[in-house]
Amino acid sequence: MAAKILSFFIAILMFFSPELPHLLDLPAIARGQDLQLEERFELVWEDEFLGDSLDTTKWNDNQSVDTLHWGPIRKGGYWHKDMIDVRDGNLVISTEYKSEPLEGNTFGSPDEYGVGYYTGMIATQGKADFLYGYYECRAILPKSTGMWAAFWMMNGGVYNQDGSGQDGTEVDIFESMYYKDEWWGAGDCVVSGIHFDGYDGMHQGDSIGRFFANNPYEEFNTYGVEWTPEEYIFYINGKETGRLTKGGVSQNPEYLILSCEIAGQDGVAYADRHGTGPISLKEGETAEFIVDYVKVYKHKGDIK
């Protein structure tokens, strides 16, 4: 109750002082410009997950083809295709603890599947990539501390270290790593940002900060980004949350990824992004990342 009261108080302050969240590193409410989707964009690609299995003409699942394989271990858990399902008009990526390892092709990786938390990812890599436009998914986020869902874009050029990010940028349209975060009542927010120049000492990145969604662990929200040659503009439910123009704007086609990850290292789960205590998802429980659709639009006319 105290956290809800505090969240309400913060929301009132943010209404009268839009800059307050950024000054205090607090989550904010999307209050920017409307997207104007129909007026400005034309649909060019979509998946509404209407069948009973993943459409492999559009997506890879990290095991069926070695061109996608990222290795069985992903931070504090494992990515496995058996955790991916299509049902009731939705993509469902499940996360569960497995006391017995699942079997799967590791494509020669030195790592193997073991006991621990299993989840999944899908990507359009090798199937479709895109340059500029607007990218959106509609989703319900998985309910557990110590894990997060994400909708993001990648290009292998992200590892090129020329200081510009023009060869390729990791674009995190959203990441949901704040489930029941009691600090300042920030539990219903997501974060958006970019990464480029590799992931070592030359790495660069930027973020618009954290923004609230509407009851995102129980209800559908839309998360999107508009990509132009000059900037990325992020949206929640058709309202602008922020813009990134500080370099890192890819000029090359990128592929889409939907994924869940467990906070941790070498397949061992942490409690959360700070690495304290056990993940809240217990053995026998399931957390689900439910995606209603993914849609890609191109700009009508001049994209500038």
pLDDT, tens digit, 9 for 90 and up, residues 41-71: 999 999 999 999 999 999 998 877 655 567 7
- CA proximity to 241, closest of 302, 191, 303: 191
- pLDDT for 1: 56
Burial of 137 from C-beta contacts in 10 A (0-12 / 13-18 / 19+):
buried
What domain range includes position 36? 31-299
| Mean pLDDT across the chain | 87
Note the pLDDT tens digit of each residue in 188-246.
889 999 999 999 989 999 999 889 999 999 999 999 999 999 999 999 999 999 999 87
In a domain, 23, yes or no: no
Whether the predicted pLDDT of 38 surpasses 60: yes
Residue where the block lists tokens 């690495």: 275
pLDDT on residue 301 = 84
Q: For 289-303, write each residue's pLDDT tens digit.
A: 999 999 999 999 876
Instruction: Give me the pLDDT at residue 179, please.
Output: 82
**pLDDT at site 304:** 53
Q: What is the pLDDT of residues 137-166, one digit of tens each?
A: 999 999 998 889 999 999 999 999 998 899
Residue 26 is assigned to a structural domain of this protein: no
Any domain includes 183: yes
Task: Convert the pLDDT of each residue in 93-102 to its tens digit.
Answer: 999 999 999 9
How many of the other CB atoms lie within 10 Å of CB of 166?
17
CA 9 to chain centroid, in Å, comes to: 28
CA–CA distances in Å: residue 286 to residues 83, 97, 145, 282: 10, 8, 12, 8
Q: Stretch 67-87: mean pLDDT, rounded?
A: 87
pLDDT at position 68 = 55
Are 160 and 167 in contact by the 8 Å Cβ rule? The answer is: yes
pLDDT in tens, 6-30: 555 555 555 554 454 555 556 778 7
Model pTM? Answer: 0.88
- The verdict on residue 11 lying in a domain is no
In a domain, residue 166? The reply is yes
Q: What is the Cα–Cα distance from 137 to 150, expressed in whole angstroms?
A: 10
Q: Nearest to residue 294, comparing CAs of 74, 78, 137?
A: 137
The reply to whether 14 falls in a domain is no
User: Does the residue 222 lie in any domain?
Assistant: yes
Q: What is the pLDDT of residue 272?
A: 55
Q: Specify the number of domains making up the chain.
A: 1
Answer whether residue 20 is part of any domain.
no
Query: What's the CATH code of the domain at 197?
Result: 2.60.120.200
Are the C-beta atoms of residues 256 and 178 closer than 8 Å to each other? no
What CA–CA distance (Å, rounded) separates 271 from 260? 15
